[in-house]
Amino acid sequence: MNRVIRNKILSVTALATLAVFTAQVSVSADRKSVVVPAVNSINGTVPGLTTLGAIPIPADNKQTDAKVELGKLLFFDPRLGGDATISCAGCHEPSLGWAWPDQISRGYPGTVHWRNSQSIINTAYYKKLFWAASVPSLEAQAPSAAKGGVAGNGEDDIMQSRLALIPEYRKRFAQVFGDEWPLINNAWRAIASFERTLNQFDTPLDKFIEGDKKALTKEQIRGKALFEGKANCIACHSGPMATDEKFYNIGVPYSLHWDEEGLAQITFRFENYAKGVTEEKYRTVKDDMGLYFRGKIDSDKGKFRTPSLRYTKYTAPYMHNGELYTLEDVVNFYNAGGVTDDGRTTDFTKTKTPLIKPLGLTDEEKKDLVAFLEAFSGPEIEIEKPKLPEYEPLFTRKELEDIVK
């Protein structure tokens, strides 16, 4: 059964949904990556592209059907945000690649974000989340997004209070976590469990690797050879997720939005201020320092974690600030050695990786490579948004009138 059908069934009734998720969770437990030879690259010997193995499930947050179902509700619930207008899905919209199609993601009302929204699909397999890999788990990613000033801008106390006034959540948190009253940290755990069910295992490339040699077109097969050879993509985009999860500055230029939009400029300064850079850097830096913010090490400026290439057919635009609109633009960018068509590159040229060099690809080769990149995506993963449970007063009028002071 493919994911689209699965998810359509999912939304019919809660019971059917549970059954489907049960099947999926148990199947994935047995899942093993197809063993493929390692590849010699300009970045040393790297794992070959292959299928995904078992979904990594943290020992302290086991999947259960009820938890996943609760997480699904919470993922779509805007009450987990400051002014109750933006849910996780607000920037990770299922019909838009579980991401957001602007170069820079929409942000909390009154703000704009400063990075591109990444897809939720297959994020279970990442060891760390966010563009600079700043959090170690999906459980840590969710609150960071829900609470960030230009994302959800929520605070724990009010979000937890809201959950307590929704009888359906009281019931479900009690069932799933044994909470007397819903605890906000358990909301993040449930959302993480839901996200771990959003995976794609049946891309054309997966089928090809599993032995269906017709799963890729001739163009794509030529593209794969380029990917693993002349174009050097495999140097970083390796293994089951097509990422080494390491950090590189590949030359992505600053966002033109920072140059041209007031709201974007506000957020740019806020992010640098909030992340604790020196005043001199706050005053003068005009590009996203990426990994630098974590350790404040100059050699980390402009580095970002290699993103997965899975599901990218649906997640344009590309790169941490969406500066490249299409997969063709991405291939052109690499072919030029990390320079955009309009001649722009990173402000942090000193930290740019030597792995990125002009490739000298022909037009034909570029086409083949783009065709192959599309093989990292299967059918679109759809979902029917759940009907959200409503607030209800916690006390009756009589209970309130009867109190003795």
Q: Which residues bind other proteins (CB under 8 A)?
A: 79, 81-85, 108-111, 149-150, 153-155, 157-158, 160-162, 164-165, 181, 254, 258-267, 269-270, 272-274, 282-284, 286, 391-395, 397, 399-401, 403, 405
Angle at 343 between CA 132 and CA 223, to 5 degrees: 70
Assess contact for 39 and 239: CB atoms under 8 A.
no
d(C-alpha 15, C-alpha 294), whole Å: 44
Assess contact for 21 and 197: CB atoms under 8 A.
yes
- Other C-beta atoms lying within 10 Å of the C-beta of residue 403: 7
- DSSP letters, 94-146, are GGGTTB-SSSS-B-STT-B-SSPPPP-TTGGG-SSBTTTT-BSSHHHHHHHHH
Residue 372: C-alpha distances to residues 203, 226, 337 (Å): 11, 9, 20
d(C-alpha 49, C-alpha 228), whole Å: 9
Q: In terms of Cα–Cα distance, which of 251, 208, 239 is closest to 372? A: 208
d(C-alpha 227, C-alpha 300), whole Å: 26
- Other C-beta atoms lying within 10 Å of the C-beta of residue 312: 21
Closer of 22 and 144 to other proteins (Cβ): 144
Closer of 151 and 231 to other proteins (Cβ): 151
Closer of 273 and 325 to other proteins (Cβ): 273
Assess contact for 115 and 252: CB atoms under 8 A.
no
Is the peptide bond prior to 317 cis by the omega test (within 30 degrees of 0)? yes
Q: In terms of Cα–Cα distance, which of 107, 88, 108 is closest to 98? A: 88
**Smallest separation (angstroms) from other proteins to the CB of 147:** 10
Residues paired with 305 in a beta bridge: 247
Which contacts qualify for 228-233: CB closer than 8 Å, 24 or more apart? 228/39, 228/41, 228/48, 228/49, 230/359, 230/361, 230/365, 231/331, 231/334, 231/335, 231/359, 231/361, 231/365, 231/369, 232/41, 232/42, 232/43, 232/355, 232/359, 233/334, 233/369
Residue 220: strand, helix, or coil = helix
**Smallest separation (angstroms) from other proteins to the CB of 387:** 18
Assess contact for 316 and 327: CB atoms under 8 A.
yes
